[in-house]
Structure 1
Amino acid sequence: MMDIIGGGAPTAPATGDLIKDVSEATFMAEVVDTSMTVPVIVDFWAPWCGPCKTLGPALEAAVTAAGGAVKMAKINVDENQGIAGQMRVQSIPTVYAFWQGQPVDGFQGALPGSEIEAFVARVIEAAGGEVPDGGLADALVAAEEMLTEGDAESAAETFAAIAEQDPENAEAFAGLARSYLALEQVDEAEAVINGVPDAISAAPEIEAVRAQIELARQAENAGPVAELRAAVDADPDNHQARLDLAQALHGAEMVEEAVDELLELFRRDREWNDGAAKAQLFTIFEALKPNDPVVLNGRRKLSSMIFV
């Protein structure tokens, strides 16, 4: 069985090179011709197919984890009935593995993560390849790239598939929740974090997402930045307006400006509202990466105020 949990695997090729949507026009090139040198797993699916929505992302994660030892072609049977008919696809999901132009393995229906790993490993070994070790890390990298590039839906699917294979992977659960936040689905993100196993509930990645969810909730209720700015300008000692302004600025992705307002609030009255300025600053810092310049500069300025 393919072990994709260890370390030391080479960097995986870009997901777009490994996983492609294939049509009848591109089937020969992307499946038959490509399989002359590298095995190709073909996933026959349809948008209305419930099991396909589970199997597809899990297959993609396993293929990504293999680091280029196998490729994947996704064929929508609704749009490519000719190929589906030639391959005698009678139900979906149906999966075939091609090697040197011929189908050499396959299955129908959804499978658990362990059996998907075993299938991918079997296909690679049948083609004379070696199953990479440590591919789960590569799959996480690929999912992060999807999220960074704005494809939050694909990122969520990949993170979910990784979490299914490794139920105590804090990065996968955090990534899934962050994907939902990117899709502005705060309730779903919160449900993911609330459902993480106890063993990883205090992991830094999980705590960071909890802070991000709290900030997202604040943004949902934040007032207009311009109005709050006007209120603060009219009365610089209106602490509630300044706190509200900071929350609105953060919701508008003006994080550094939000931190500046909170630092000014702390300077004016550090004890106001049970130290609300400091608490809000720590929430923002926790939601960001520790080496983020906003965090480093903000912590330095806050420390200088505390220890004066």
Structure 2
Amino acid sequence: MSGAVDLTALKERADAQRAAAQNARPAPRPAAPEAGAPTQPSAGGPAVIDVTDATFEADVIERSTRQLVIVDLWATWCGPCKQLSPILESLAAGANGSWVLAKVDVDANPGIAQAFRAQSIPMVIAIAQGQPVTAFQGVQPAGQVAAWIDDILAKVGHTFTGADFPADEPVIDERMAAADQLMNDGDFAGALEAYKAIAADEPTNTEAASLVRNLEFMLRASAHDPSIVDTAAPGDVDAQLAAADVLLANQQPEAAFDRIIALVKVTAGDDRTKARTRLLELFELFDPAEPFVITARRKLASALY
């Protein structure tokens, strides 16, 4: 391979995303409360809250260290959502503060839906200690939903602030820690396989899924000759996509996106679908609120329609 892309910048991107995700992982458990202190969250807060992309960190991630959070992904046009949401709201109202229902309109808050990689709605995700515990999609009977939540509380209820457990006992995800170590050691291929296995076993583990996307891009981009940016023929779809990878790896996302959008404009059929799909994959490497991502999405929409 002649003149492969330098992995340094790519590793820094993956490391930064991994570090940010690790900060959201469960922290060491606090000391046990004094005798007579409550062991369950209080019922003082609302049973149902509306969550946005902007409030997700505080209303879901931070809150889930104190209380089980059940996230309901819904939309106004979704018929099944209209059947499931009242069930969840009724159960939350009768839960006496043991958990809170966080409702997310996916049309108004695409970042949250993207984070959970929601393929269909309604989708319901249980969050505890900053991490997804389990999830389901589609309408379920009230009794089945209630049993699902009760089972989760039985497993994780003791982990919330105020519960009775030993002091300073850290909660460690050993599989993620092992994959992180492979990453630290520079074994990117091994880390990718480890994160893929975790993501396959835990569909709601958004951290593992995100790291899979980053590492897949890292390894693909590193295999390209940087000169492809200048030598790719205008009609060569694969070469143009490789050139976009190189530009993105070199911290030029706007140029990378524009390259693929230009390809979308002049292609059709399978080639156009291939270019569009690759661009959407690259968008997922960034915060959806980044201005250059928003701009590129608008350009893509114009190119398509």
When normalised by structure 2's length, the TM-score is 0.41
Task: Provide the TM-score with structure 1 as the length reference.
Answer: 0.40
Bigger relative contact order (CA 8 A; separation at least 6): 2
Report the structure, 1 or 2, having the larger helix content. 1
